[in-house]
């Protein structure tokens, strides 16, 4: 088991935070490098306004997680701000980041669909790297397993019904592998299409479909009754992406 923190003098550094920061930086660097293909000036990636997109993505991600675990956070309000301890929801990050990107494109007068096509390969790459943070914090794992690739989960991190089990499905690694495959597919597809919006639509379709099925192996996600909220969002997102792809094909 990896120690989730280390100290530099009196300062405690969280590996989770480092992972998220690295994922964000790599996504930013990739988008900046690919910007000329979309006729977007690389210089705008060095402007402070770009932080609005990142900030709103993090806010959205945290809000989603807090709502997911409201039973806990309602009794520990100060913990809402302890984001370095883990706890972000990717659907919240997507919605928050999309809102931030919308504002950014309005300020810079860039077509939104063009910006989205540029952004989503960076986004899915960052998602893949971010899943390593789930492993470090021992969160987002699946049910118990006897498979040789099962990961050990500390008793303090196990759901009460699984305290007698030691090894669990590394759902975070499953999703990381799928995200990397989607990243490769998006980069490949982006080189072969000239119609704006298609890359973004393909991202929505592939990611939502993969997330829907991965959710069957998640035991810690937001539910209302027996319905998993992430799966409901995935279904809606899938059909939105499919509709967008069909409409953009007609436009090409």
CA distance 117 to 134: 27
Q: Taking all residues of the chain, what is their mean pLDDT, rounded to a whole number? A: 91
Task: Give the pLDDT confidence score for residue 60 in this predicted structure.
Answer: 93
Amino acid 12: pLDDT = 79
Write the DSSP assignment of 112-180 as a string of letters: HHHHHHHHHHHHHHHHHHHHHHHHHHT-S--SB--STT-EE--GGGS-GGGTT--EE--HHHHHHHHHH
Two structure tokens written together for 208? 């939502």
Averaged pLDDT, 18-41: 95
Return the pLDDT at 109.
Answer: 94
Residues 207 and 251: beta-carbon distance below 8 Å: no
Query: What phi-psi label fits residue 185: left (phi over 0), alpha (psi between -120 and 50 degrees) or beta?
Result: alpha
Q: What's the CA gap between 190 and 56, in Å, rounded?
A: 26
Is residue 16 within 8 Å of residue 65, measured between CB atoms?
A: no
End-to-end Cα distance, the chain: 51
Per-residue pLDDT reduced to its tens digit, 114-127 = 999 999 999 999 99
> What domain range includes position 78?
5-251
Per-residue pLDDT at 176: 96
The pLDDT score that the predictor gives to residue 86 is: 62
| pLDDT at site 97 | 94
- Number of domains within the chain: 1
Residue 128's CB is within 10 A of a number of other CB atoms, namely 22
Using an 8 Å Cβ cutoff, are 121 and 190 in contact? yes
**pLDDT confidence tier of residue 1, bands split at 50, 70 and 90:** low
pLDDT band at 77 (very low <50, low <70, confident <90, very high): confident
Q: Give the single-character DSSP code of 221.
A: S
Summarize the confidence of residues 34-50 as an average pLDDT.
94
Tell if the pTM clears 0.85, that is, is over it.
Answer: yes
């Amino acid at each position: 088991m990896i120690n989730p923190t280390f100290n530099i003098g009196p300062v405690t550094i969280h590996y989770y935070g480092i992972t998220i920061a690295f994922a964000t930086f790599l996504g930013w660097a990739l988008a900046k490098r690919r910007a000329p293909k979309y006729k977007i000036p690389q210089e705008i990636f060095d402007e402070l306004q770009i932080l609005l997109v990142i900030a709103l993505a993090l806010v959205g991600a945290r809000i989603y997680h807090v709502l997911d675990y409201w039973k806990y956070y309602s009794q520990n309000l100060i913990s809402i701000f302890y984001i370095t301890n883990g706890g972000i929801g990717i659907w919240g990050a997507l919605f928050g980041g999309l809102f931030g990107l919308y504002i950014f494109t309005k300020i810079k007068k860039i077509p939104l669909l063009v910006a989205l096509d540029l952004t989503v390969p960076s986004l899915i790459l960052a998602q893949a790297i971010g899943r390593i943070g789930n492993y470090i914090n021992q969160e987002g794992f699946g049910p118990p397993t006897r498979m040789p690739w099962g990961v050990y989960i500390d008793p303090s991190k196990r759901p009460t019904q699984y305290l007698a089990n030691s090894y669990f499905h590394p759902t975070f690694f499953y999703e990381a592998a799928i995200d990397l495959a989607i990243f490769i597919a998006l980069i490949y597809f982006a080189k072969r299409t000239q119609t704006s919006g298609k890359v973004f639509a393909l991202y929505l379709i592939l990611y939502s479909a993969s997330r829907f099925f991965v959710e069957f192996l998640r035991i810690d996600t937001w539910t209302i009754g027996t319905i998993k909220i992430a799966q409901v969002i995935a279904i809606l997102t899938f059909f939105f992406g499919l509709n967008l792809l069909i409409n953009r094909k007609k436009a090409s």
